[in-house]
Amino acid sequence: IEHLILHHHISSVEKLSLTTSGCPLLIQCRNFRVVHFVVPRERDCHDLYSSLLRLLRPVSFDELYAFSYNPKQNDQQREEGWQLIDLSAEFERMGVPCDQWHWTDVNREYKVCDSYPRDLYVPVAASKPIIVGSSKFRSKGRFPALTYFYQEKKAAVCRCSQPLSGFSARCLEDEHMLQAISKANPNSRYIYVMDTRPKLNALANRAAGKGYENEDNYSNIRFQFVGIENIHVMRASLQKLLEVVGARALSVTDYLLGLESSGWLRHIKAIVDAAIFLSKAVTAEGASVLVHCSDGWDRTAQVCSLGALLMDPYYRTLKGFMVLIEKDWISFGHKFADRCDQLDGDPKEVSPIFTQFLDCVWQLSEQFPQAFQFSEWFLIQIHEHVHSCQFGNFLCNSQRQREELQLREKTYSLWSFLLSEQHNYENPLYSAALAERNPVLEPSTQPCHFKFWTNMYHQYDRTMHPRQSLLKHLLAVRESSCALEKTAHELEAVGARDLSVLLHVVPPTLMCGEGLPARSDGERTVEGSSATENSYAELQGPFGAKAEPHLVSLEFGVARMTC
């Protein structure tokens, strides 16, 4: 058996104390894999340890795997991969530009906001001086810009960062900007301003000259805190969660209490709650909403993207989900490089913000098994590659950085790769007709409907998984149905023709090949199923010691272990 681990996936390497069989090395990965192996000679172990440490800490982007990864595509194929997602086409799909919203070139040179994309959409009534003025009053220059347009009610979802209001500062341009957003929606007299932070955090920010909108200064806004915690709380929460579920011989009590004290599900619920608030304001009240947090690239991205996912069935398709990530996460400058620790950087910047978004999507897919065109495997695969640095999409912190590094010329796009194996990621229960009938999802927010995502956080621990995968089974059945349809079609065509042709047309493979994959012993359908893997109790003596890998080698980009 061979195990390959991408260096980029490794989040920590730890040398444990020497044992009789050798020197144990514990590797923890960002895709929640934990590898524990024993190197017979301490010296080798030390060498391995120090080389890993060196390799784990790339200092510049061009050291990342994406720059050496070559999937044997020509330039044209690569180019096509990058062209797959076109955000201006996406805004057109929403009905923008329109009489109230238009494209602006104000950020053409990334001069107004270097973490925003070049192409932005703003109310027609917001002139350039207003935009520029507003941007100066917003943290990191992230002024209010359109991210989703709900055509049916002409309600907009805009996003920005916190205002630099301190205790009393005002900015007329910013007030105008919000007024313009409000006026652009003829269906509602007010707009919601959602500050996704807990009120205390927002208050504390005022002392640093930042803060939140004073309702007295802005006409017709309804201000709302929604209380999602910051990146540091989320980082600690995931760490605690992984400690809890990683414990050996975990009891139900420790599991549930650990789940509670980690706060992970509480945070997930807070994000979903905020997205529901956003979706209801837009779809039910027809009001426009401006969403922000501190810098507007973490919680804001979570809430805007999840809210749009609730409102618009398109984002629940494979392609639409890619567009959504490309729009609300990549183009609006979620700092993937910092949050996912791509380069040797500040550990305090690392945080599982995007993982939480995927977790929220999974929670929804559990409540609405037919609403998503993709299965959890798609989410897990995206998560894998957000950390793998194998594709260019998630590298860097902003569009501007990506252009500087010429990622489109030097790396490949994940999306075309995922689409090429789309059939693996499809949800066989998906119903497009249902999406048309009930376009807006209204999930339950009762705590009991939020669950721990075993297949994500234990994706490498097969002993935890259901032993027979429903998803895999249904995909196989569907594939078999496709083959059978084809066969039936051919047989009907043959039957209609002359007999003499028959013998040549029906290839012998048709006579047995299709149908469900043959299962001789059932062994294949029952995975990871052995009593020894589960350790039910303390019977005398070990039932068989686990084979230790005895060969460890480091190659470019991967650690290779062979048993």
Partner 1 sequence: MEFAELIKTPRVDGVVLHRPFMPTVEGTLCLTGHHLILSSRQDNTEELWLLHSNIDYIEKRFVGSLGTIIVKCKDLRIIQLDIPGMEECLNIASSIEALSTLDSVSLMYPFFYRPMFEVVEDGWNMFLPEEITLTLLTDEWRLSSVNKDFGVCPTYPQLVAVPKAVDDDTLRKVATFRHGGRFPVLSYYHKKNGMVMMRAGQPLTGTNGRRCKEDEKLINATLRPGKRGYIIDTRAINVAQQAKARGGGFEQEASYPQWRRIHKAIERYNILQESLIKLVEACNDQSQSMDRWLSKLEASNWQTHVKEIVTTACLAAQCIDREGASVLVHGTEGTDSTLQVTSLAQIILDPCCRTMRGFQSLVEREWLQAGHPFQQRCAQSAYSNSKARLEAPVFLLFLDCVWQVLRQFPCSFQFNEHFLVLLFEHAYASQFGTFLGNNAAERLKLKLPQKTVSLWSWVNRPQEMERFLNPLYEPNNLVIWPSVAPQSLLLWEGVFLRWNRSSKCLDEAYDEMVHIIEYNKELQSKVNALRRQLAQLETGDGLLETP
- Check whether 230 is labelled as a binding-site residue: yes
- Taking CB under 8 A as the binding criterion, the range among 155-163, 288-296, 351-359, 369-377 that sits at the site for partner 1 is 369-377
157 vs 259, which CB is nearer to partner 1? 259
59/448 with CB nearer partner 1: 448
Q: Which is nearer to partner 1, 290 or 364 (CB)?
A: 364
Per the annotation, does 299 bind a ligand?
yes
256: contact with partner 1 by CB under 8 A: yes
Regarding 424 and contact with partner 1 (CB under 8 A), the answer is no
Contact region with partner 1 (CB under 8 A), list: 86-94, 224-232, 259-267, 312-320: 259-267
Of 478, 351, 336, nearest to 396 by C-alpha is 336
Is 57 annotated for ligand binding?
A: no
Eight-state DSSP code of residue 326: I
Is residue 97 reached through a cis peptide bond, with omega within 30 degrees of 0 on the bond before it? yes
How far apart are alpha carbons 509 and 506 in whole angstroms?
Answer: 8
Among the residue ranges 299-307, 315-323, 491-499, 551-559, the one whose residues contact partner 1 (CB under 8 A): 491-499
CA–CA distance, 61 with 47 (Å, rounded to integer): 25
From the list 491, 554, 558, 560, which residue makes contact with partner 1 (rule: CB under 8 A)? 491
Interactions with partner 1, residue window 204-223 (CB under 8 A)? none
Q: How many CB atoms lie within 10 A of CB 330?
A: 22
Interaction of residue 542 with partner 1, rule CB under 8 A: no
Contact pick of 477, 501, 551, 563 for partner 1 (by CB under 8 A): 477
Q: Using the minimum distance from each CB to partner 1, give the nearer residue, 84 or 434.
A: 434
Q: Is 161 annotated as a binding residue?
A: no
Q: What is the DSSP string of 127-175?
A: -HHHHHHHHHTBGGG---EEEEEETTTTEEEEEE--B--TTT---HHHH
Q: Which residue has the tokens 């469900």?
A: 516
Looking at the Cβ atoms of 259 and 323, the one nearer to partner 1 is 259
Q: Rg of the chain's alpha carbons, rounded to an integer?
A: 26
Tokens of 98: 């329109």
CB of residue 488 to partner 1, shortest distance in Å: 5
Q: Where in 228-247 is the site for partner 1 (CB under 8 A)? A: 245
Question: Is residue 133 a known part of a binding site?
Answer: no
Distances from the Cα of 207 to the Cα of 139, 165, 173, 211, angstroms: 14, 10, 22, 8
Dist. CA 314–CA 321, nearest whole Å: 8
Question: Least distance from C-beta 452 to partner 1, angstroms?
Answer: 6
Give exposure, 241-256, as e/b (b: 16+ Cβ within 10 Å).
bbebbeeeeeeeeeee
Residue 13's SS3 state is strand
Residue 530 in the binding site for partner 1 (CB under 8 A): yes
User: Is 197 annotated as a binding-site member?
Assistant: no
> Out of 16, 502, 551, 563, which residue is the one contacting partner 1 (CB under 8 A)?
502
Closest CA to 130 of 108, 145, 115: 145
Task: State yes or no: 297 annotated in a binding site.
Answer: yes
Token code pair at residue 436: 């048309």
Distance in angstroms (rounded) separating the CA atoms of residues 42 and 375: 44
Asked if 253 interacts with partner 1 (CB under 8 A), we say yes
Pairing of strands 145-150, 155-160: antiparallel
Tokens in use for 126? 């917001």
Q: Which of 431, 432, 517, 550 binds partner 1 (CB under 8 A)?
A: 431
Catalytic residue selected from 23, 29, 293, 396: 293
Residues near partner 1 (CB under 8 A), total: 79
Q: Is residue 98 annotated as a catalytic residue, yes or no?
A: no
Which of these segments, 75-83, 344-352, 414-422, 529-537, binds partner 1 (CB under 8 A)? 529-537
Closest CB to partner 1 among residues 347, 541: 541
Q: Known binder of ligand: residue 295?
A: yes
Residues shown for the chain: 563
Contact 453, 390 (CB under 8 A): no
To the nearest whole angstrom, how small is the minimum distance from the Cβ of residue 480 to partner 1?
Answer: 6
Of the ranges 7-15, 29-37, 44-52, 524-532, which one interacts with partner 1 (CB under 8 A)? Answer: 524-532
Active site residues: 293
Which residue numbers belong to the known binding site for substrate?
A: 230-231, 293-299
